[in-house]
Structure 1
Amino acid sequence: MARGFSSKEKQAIRLSLIQQGRELFRKFGFQKTNILDITKNVGIAQGTFYKFFNSKEELYFVILEIEEQKLREQFAVADIFTEKDPKQSIKNILQQMIEMIEENSLIRELFIGDTMTHIVKKLSPELLEKHYQNDSFAIEPLLEKLRKEGFIIEQEPQMIASILRSFFLLTLHKKEIGESVFDETMEVFIDLIIDGLIKEGE
């Protein structure tokens, strides 16, 4: 009988699966990358993969979470009070995040064919709920900063996170929206979202 992995070995293998998966997904795309490709690069048996992830879709989602954490951190650490207009600072951050999404092949891969639908179907409700909670937690520090400065924010973090998530999904439909009007359209959406959610106190 094969020996089990120690905690340290499990941690190393999981990290390696994420790293190798990220490289192969970036190079070949989600559909053309299979579990055997990943496990060969890690140096483990294909069946061992399932000790760490339930499916290729789950691994991809975990990698996406890491990519999205980079976006969330922009909200968490943003010093929006360096400029005279904090709301404009937030709008600038959202513009920067759009650019990051456009340049990120792993995120854009979601909108090739039915990739997103396929992935979501394979994920547990618990994993998806955790993802949504992470979005909410990420914006709470920024909302608290604004409230301390006298701004009025009536919506709960969960709803604001949902609105922003919907907005970023739009950025992945540039062709459908129309490339010639896309940038201007996103600017208008940003203005509507921020001005609608964040009110200046009297």
Structure 2
Amino acid sequence: MPQFSQTEKEKINEQLIVIAKQLFSSKGIKKTSLEDLTSVVGIAKSSFYVFFESKEALYLELLDQEGPGIEERVWEAVNQKSSIEDKIKTYLHEMTRELDDNPLMKRLQTHPDELQSIARKVTPEFLQKKTERNVLPLLHFINEQKEAGELIDKDSEVILRLMRAAMTISLHKKDIGIDLYPKIQDMMFEAVSSYITKRKPQEE
């Protein structure tokens, strides 16, 4: 096994990240071989394991790197809205759009077999980071809005799961029909927003 200096490791790691994103997005993880990845950066196949435990671990690293940017863009858009209804609809639309536009995430949505192979390599540390980045900010937002009297009196976890469930509509785009999908998505997000922001009778 060849020895790499720290500088070499950093450079090769960056190169693997770049080529992996391109190949995983276009070919998928199963059809991307180690040789596809290592030949571009000029290392032996066996040297790949100096940098990543597996192709799946590399895929997870890519997802982990892109996660913070997604959250920042979504919440920036949400915070520009004034009403709670618009904030919720914006969150649903922006997060769904981010997931649809991200080639790595979109690939997993449309290829369940690849999603399963990635899921088997998910570590507790990855799940913890994902929870802290994706779940906790939304849960904090929901709790904050409930305390302000802006949301219905339901368990925060239920509201959170309802919102996340609504976003899975993107998985059924072809079933719904490409032409009708934008209208159906708007109606669903409008319905969810209307339901969870509806005031109780005594508050009206």
User: How does the TM-score come out when normalised to structure 1?
Assistant: 0.74
Change (3 A) 1:159 1:45: farther
Change (3 A) 1:92 1:77: closer
Partners of 1:107 and 1:115 in 2: CA distance = 11
Q: Residue 171 of structure 2: SS of its match in structure 1?
A: coil
Deviates further, 128-137 or 111-120: 128-137
Task: Find the counterpart in structure 2 of residue 135 from structure 1.
Answer: 134
Deviation string, structure 1 residues 39-98 (Cα, Å, up to 9, x no partner): 222232222222332211221122233344333223333353544x23214313422333
Deviates further, 65-74 or 159-168: 159-168
Task: Find the counterpart in structure 1 of residue 101 from structure 2.
Answer: 103
Percent identity for Structure 1 against Structure 2? 28
Tell me if 1:19 matches 2:18: yes
Equivalent residues of 2:57, 2:121 under 8 A apart? yes
Partners of 1:161 and 1:21 in 2: CA distance = 33
Q: Residue 29 of structure 2: SS of its match in structure 1?
A: coil
Equivalent residues of 2:74, 2:95 under 8 A apart? no
Deviation at 1:171, TM superposition (A): 0.7
Deviation at 1:152, TM superposition (A): 4.2
Partners of 2:2 and 2:80 in 1: CA distance = 58
More helix by percentage = 2
Change (3 A) 1:60 1:162: farther
Partners of 1:137 and 1:104 in 2: CA distance = 22
Partners of 2:99 and 2:198 in 1: CA distance = 28
Change (3 A) 1:138 1:11: farther
Partners of 1:198 and 1:11 in 2: CA distance = 48
Change (3 A) 1:180 1:35: same
Superposed CA RMSD: 3.3
Change (3 A) 1:173 1:192: same
Task: Find the counterpart in structure 1 of residue 118 from structure 2.
Answer: 119
What amino acid is the match of 1:191? E
What amino acid is the match of 1:109? R
Task: Find the counterpart in structure 2 of residue 88 from structure 1.
Answer: 86
Instruction: Within 5 Å, give how 1:165-184 maps onto structure 2.
Output: 165-184=164-183
Task: Find the counterpart in structure 2 of residue 72 from structure 1.
Answer: 71
Partners of 1:39 and 1:160 in 2: CA distance = 45
Task: Find the counterpart in structure 2 of residue 5 from structure 1.
Answer: 5
Partners of 2:5 and 2:161 in 1: CA distance = 39
> Aligned residues, how many?
199
Partners of 1:75 and 1:96 in 2: CA distance = 6
What amino acid is the match of 2:95? M
Equivalent residues of 1:39, 1:49 under 8 A apart? yes
Equivalent residues of 1:18, 1:59 under 8 A apart? yes
What amino acid is the match of 2:62? I
Change (3 A) 1:67 1:192: farther
Task: Find the counterpart in structure 2 of residue 189 from structure 1.
Answer: 188
Equivalent residues of 2:139, 2:160 under 8 A apart? no
Deviation string, structure 1 residues 105-136 (Cα, Å, up to 9, x no partner): 32221122522122212333442343233212
Q: Which runs of 4+ in 1 moved over 6 A?
A: none
Task: Find the counterpart in structure 1 of residue 150 from structure 2.
Answer: 151
What amino acid is the match of 1:5? S
Change (3 A) 1:46 1:105: same
